[in-house]
Chain A
């Protein structure tokens, strides 16, 4: 089945530790994104990547880092510099169709809790 997979579904982290969230897609999409969602709120863009080995900061990139070494993978590292990392993290991907951007396909999310 084609899709976008995030792992793990639940993640607990101690304060001061870095943690990496996995996102893999087999849709052959060029673009991938990371969003953060806090309870009862909307989605805020952390980072996005349009092509392998290239990525741009979103609106709330501070305290996060990403890499895009392969088209299929876009891992997000939540560093100890992120002051309030407890949230629901969503990864998505999209592609271009005859010059138009398309809708984003989302993973099922990773719920990160700092303990």
Chain B
């Protein structure tokens, strides 16, 4: 959903476990969704995306699931590594002729060695 200045929720996982990060988006007409990873002091980087005509998409160690019925998006990271520690943002985009992207509040992932 839209970021409103809330402090970030945190997820802590053991190295090697799978991580699941959830996101509720705000607009039922959004048709394109993206997950970003942001390391401290840097700009967000693209991880994976999904169009509204799909409900699952897999990348290397990452899977995104889209449930349009409940406006829910999740990012699954397999075999989580210390380098995965970062803040993860979901973003939604409305294809109405504009480029406006709305970011979720973000989740901080800690990976314990």
Q: Which of B6, B8, B95, B101 has the most CB of A within 10 A?
A: B101
Query: Is A108's CB under 8 angstroms from B34's CB?
Result: no
Interface size on A (CB < 8 Å)?
Answer: 31
The answer to whether A59 has its CB under 8 Å from any CB of chain B is: yes
Complex Cα gap A99–B105 (Å): 27
The answer to whether B61 has its CB under 8 Å from any CB of chain A is: no
Binary CB contact string for chain A from 29 to 46 against chain B (1 if under 8 A, 0 otherwise)? 011010100101111110
A91 (CB) vs chain B CBs: closest residue: B43
- What is the predominant secondary structure among interface residues of chain B facing chain A? loop
Name the interface size band of chain B: 20 to 34
The answer to whether A63 has its CB under 8 Å from any CB of chain B is: no
**B: which residues have CB within 8 A of A?**
2-3, 5-8, 32, 34, 36, 41-46, 49, 51, 89, 91, 93, 95, 98-106
Known: A43-B44, A43-B89, A50-B99. 13 other contacts (CB 8 A): A30-B99, A33-B99, A38-B5, A42-B6, A42-B89, A42-B105, A43-B103, A45-B102, A90-B43, A94-B101, A101-B93, A101-B99, A103-B49
**A: which residues have CB within 8 A of B?**
30-31, 33, 35, 38, 40-45, 48, 50, 56, 58-59, 90, 92, 94, 96, 99-101, 103-109, 111
List 5 A-B pairs, Cβ < 8 Å.
A35-B103, A42-B106, A43-B44, A94-B99, A100-B51
